Amino acid sequence: MPMHRPLLPSGLLAVAALLSACGGGSSSDDAGSGTTAQKVASCGTDGGSLRIMSLGDSITEAEAGHNSYRRVLWQRLNGAGCSIDLVGSKSGVSRGFRDSGSTAPPNADFDQDHEGYWDYSVNELLPRISGLVGQSNPDVVLIHLGTNDVLAGQGASGIAQELGGVIDAIRASKADTHILLAKIIPASPDPSGTAALNKLVDGIATARSNATSPIAVVNQAAGYSVGDNYDGVHPNPTGEAKLGNKWADAVLAWRTR
């Protein structure tokens, strides 16, 4: 999804650096002493902060001039009394093209760590995932992947198989990771392609979910239209809010205390 947008002033990067000091980090040294199940059940208030990795493409990363759904996710979970650390090897948002490096979003008042990769397909990310999970030690991984694959003309069954490989790669590094798997948002010019992939997502989750590493499907496509994207593909503020709120609802649905 390569696009070029006006960049924000580089001085805003200093704000992002300050945020990482107060909003969490991605070192596994900060993981706390509790089990993953304990932290998920308490939403991070028992056993250490709940470490959440947002894994995806440019819809997860966002670009200069946009905050990403991660800001709404962060606000909602903190507002619900959770103790959250968003984790990942990247921070901020894209400059609007593949491997561009990061800049600060318009509102740098949230924990900005993530694993979003502008213009990347599922297959391109697969070799990296075990290492990224091993580095950040997440308790929960949010997966919104497949848009670039659909727009490149790949068939839904092949993308679904690769998404299964993503789940296997996550567990290869952390067997008890809790996984939220998205039915992805519609994207122009091929909303029918994203819909075809979404029909297979429940089957991916059913085939791989287990008690140690449960998988919950988050239907991000429901109630979402191409009109919630500013360019046909990437969420505008309304779209970001829809995504962030649904992710937060899914995390909170696991809270039992």
Q: Going from the first residue of the chain to its last (257 residues), give the mean pLDDT of each consecutive group of 10, the final group possibly shorter.
A: 35 36 44 90 98 98 98 98 98 97 98 98 98 98 98 98 98 98 97 98 98 98 98 98 98 97
Instruction: State how far the Cα of 50 lies from the Cα of 34, in Å rounded to an integer.
Output: 10
pLDDT at residue number 21: 32
Buried b (16+ CB within 10 A) or exposed e, 158-179: ebbebbbebbebbbebbeebbb
Domain 12-253, second-level architecture: 3-Layer(aba) Sandwich (3.40)
What percent of the chain shows pLDDT beyond 90? 87
Quickly list DSSP for 42-109.
HTTSSSSPEEEEEEESHHHH-BTT---HHHHHHHHHHHTT--EEEE-SEESEE-SSTT--EE--S---
Number of Cβ atoms within 10 Å of the Cβ of 133: 23
Instruction: State how far the Cα of 38 lies from the Cα of 40, in Å rounded to an integer.
Output: 6
pLDDT at residue number 33: 82
pLDDT at residue number 108: 97
